[in-house]
Amino acid sequence: TIIPGVWVIAVFSVCCVFLPRKVCIGLMLIFVPLAYSSYNTYPFVILATLLICHDAPRGLRDYAFVRFGFIASLALAMAGVNFVNWAYHGSFAIEIADWRQPNRVESIDDLIENFALVQKFISMLLINYGGGVGRVWVGYAIFSASLVSFLILMKLERWEALYAATPAVMGLGLLVAYCLINGVLLPVRATIFVWACTSYALVRTAILLGGQAFRTILLGGPVLFLCVYLAYQQSKTYEEFAVWQRFTRSMAEQISPRATQIFIYGDFWAMREARAVGIQSGNGLSSRLQYLTGAKTVLCKEQPDPCSGETPPFDEMPRFGSLLVENTDDAAFVRLPAWELAP
């Protein structure tokens, strides 16, 4: 749902450009719940988009109006998601998955333990500010420059600085509180709204301080860089995923056209091709084979019940270094390589 959520944000951004301010504030009642259902911090990107819009009327009345509209929209979004969860699962709350290893605060010791998670979360945020190179000081330098730009912007355009800082402070505060109370380490992608606000502060401050030629370079240079960078990333992504596509096509060619079911034994992560492109779950392999062959595909490690009545024509333990595919009358059996011997 993350990519459709970006579409929601993009449509709202277009609305902010062409529609009246009051209409856009009212539209938050629609777009914030949609964005929240996609990813729970996307509403803060919606808020940032509305607040840093270039023709926003800066002032206390508009600021209070926008914040009230956003809080009401976010409450509506949270109530809607919880209501759907209650209707389908009987619980008016979203349970935290066990694999996240939550540590809810019940004592001072829990609070201290969760505080270490908050520190790790902030460290991850700063590392990614430094381009993910693993050096926290680079992130500190860039983040410090962002803070300085906010201070300068506060002196030059007080309301504009407040507008830009509000989504970052509100959203980051809620994330830190959530991490502290529930003991869950949040992914850095949850902080995308912070990037939006600090980037705006950096660029806007530079525009206010620089001359016309500097403004042209500042605005045109990054656009040109982004175009080149995105073209490079697109070609790199194509090359990486082409390996996975060729590998799965080769596997599909070994499966009989008569097969109506495919049973896969072993751990899909043992395949180097899956690790190379970052396939996140076994569903990536089963869905790919089902798409290529039309046969229902089952990963026996993740879904043991459908495989319990089947007898594969080989020893299902992955002890050999090569992929093995065996066909019967109406089924195909695939044995993935072992981790130690994975090609």
Across 30-34, 41-45, 96-100, 286-290, least confident range: 96-100
> Which DSSP state fits 8?
H
Roughly what angle, to the nearest 10 degrees, separates helices 21-38 and 2-18? 180
- Phi and psi for 294 in degrees, rounded to 5? 80, 0
Q: Does 339 score more than 50 pLDDT?
A: yes
- Which range is least confidently modeled, 29-38, 85-94, 286-295? 85-94
Instruction: Indicate whether 185 pLDDT > 80.
Output: yes
Nearest CA to 271 out of 294, 246, 296 is that of 246
Kindly state the tokens that stand for 327.
Answer: 């066909």
Strand ranges in the chain using DSSP code E only, listed in sequence order: 261-265, 296-299, 324-327, 331-335
Per-residue confidence at 284, pLDDT binned at 50, 70, 90? Answer: confident
Contacts of 273 (CB under 8 A, 6+ apart): 243, 244, 247, 248
- Is the pLDDT at 251 greater than 80, yes or no? yes
Most confident region among 99-113, 158-172, 199-213 by mean pLDDT: 158-172
Nearest to 111 by CA among 190, 179, 185, 187: 179
Instruction: Judge residue 305's burial from the number of C-beta atoms within 10 Å of its C-beta, 0-12 exposed, 13-18 middle, 19 or more buried.
Output: exposed
Sheet holding 331-335, edge to edge: 296-299, 261-265, 331-335, 324-327
Q: How many residues does the chain have?
A: 343
Residues 181, 105: contact at Cβ < 8 Å? yes
Cα 251–Cα 253–Cα 257 angle in degrees, nearest 5: 120
Q: How far apart are CA 39 and CA 48, in angstroms?
A: 15
Q: What pLDDT is attached to residue 138?
A: 72
Looking at the chain, the number of H-run helices and the number of E-run strands are: 12, 4
What pLDDT, in 10s, does the model give residues 120-140? 888 888 777 766 555 667 777
Task: Quickly state the pLDDT bin for 65 (edges 50, 70, 90).
Answer: very high
Determine contact, residues 52/43, Cβ cutoff 8 Å.
no
Count of CB atoms within 10 A of residue 288's CB? 20
Q: Which residues contact 341 (CB under 8 A, 6 or more apart)?
A: 319, 320, 321
Whether the per-residue pLDDT at 100 is higher than 50: the answer is yes
Of all residues in the chain, the percent with pLDDT exceeding 70 is 91
Please tell me the distance from the alpha carbon of residue 241 to that of residue 258, in angstroms, as a whole number: 28
- Per the DSSP assignment, residues forming a β-bridge with 171 are none
Calculate the alpha carbon distances from 294 to 260, 297, 304, 332 in Å: 8, 9, 21, 12
Mean pLDDT for the chain overall:
84
In this prediction, residue 342 carries a pLDDT of: 47
